[in-house]
């Protein structure tokens, strides 16, 4: 037996808005919405999925970490998209090169890659 993956579920005041932010600013793809108006939904990019729940499951301002193969390339992709970038990519003493992005519900997305691979 093995674990396959984890999918974070983020609190959202507006699921459609959360999905739009991840699609338009963070360059994910719209995966699905449930309900009209949606009360649950999710996005994906490659093997990463993120779900959103309207005013339930979790709290505003949750932190999640996404590991990418090159954070500098991702930064270049989103820097002019209107994403709320809190920090540009920076190499950390713990062996990661990271940046921080904030979502409309105050969630902080830590995006980075392992510097052992550089």
In a domain, 88, yes or no: yes
Query: For position 116, what pLDDT does the model report?
Result: 82
In a domain, 3, yes or no: no
In a domain, 2, yes or no: no
The CATH code of the domain that includes 13 is 3.10.180.10
pLDDT tens by residue, 40-58: 999 999 999 999 999 988 8
Query: For position 117, what pLDDT does the model report?
Result: 55
Q: How many Å separate Cα 113 from the centre of its chain?
A: 14
pLDDT tens by residue, 18-31: 999 999 999 999 88
In a domain, 84, yes or no: yes
Range of the domain at 87: 9-117
Closest CA to 79 of 20, 27, 19: 27
pLDDT by 10s per residue, the chain, length 118: 898 889 999 999 999 999 999 999 999 998 899 999 999 999 999 999 999 999 988 888 999 999 999 999 999 999 999 999 999 999 999 999 999 999 999 999 999 999 985 5
- CA torsion angle for 48, 54, 60, 63 (degrees, to 10)? -10
In a domain, 4, yes or no: no
Indicate the number of domains in the chain: 1
In a domain, 106, yes or no: yes
Q: Is 72 left (phi over 0), alpha (psi -120 to 50) or beta?
A: alpha
Query: For position 118, what pLDDT does the model report?
Result: 54
What DSSP element (H or E) covers 26?
Answer: none
Query: For position 80, what pLDDT does the model report?
Result: 97
């Amino acid at each position: 037996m093995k674990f396959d993956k984890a999918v974070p579920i983020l609190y959202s005041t507006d699921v459609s808005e959360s999905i739009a932010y991840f699609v338009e600013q963070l360059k994910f793809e719209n995966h699905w919405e449930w309900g009209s108006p949606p009360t649950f939904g999710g996005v994906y990019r490659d093997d990463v999925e993120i779900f959103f729940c309207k005013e339930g499951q979790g709290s505003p301002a949750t932190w999640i970490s996404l590991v990418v193969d090159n954070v500098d390339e991702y930064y270049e992709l989103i820097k002019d998209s209107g994403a709320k970038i809190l920090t540009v990519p920076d190499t950390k003493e713990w062996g990661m090169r990271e940046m921080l992005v904030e979502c409309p519900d105050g969630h902080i997305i830590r995006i980075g890659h392992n510097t052992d691979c550089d």
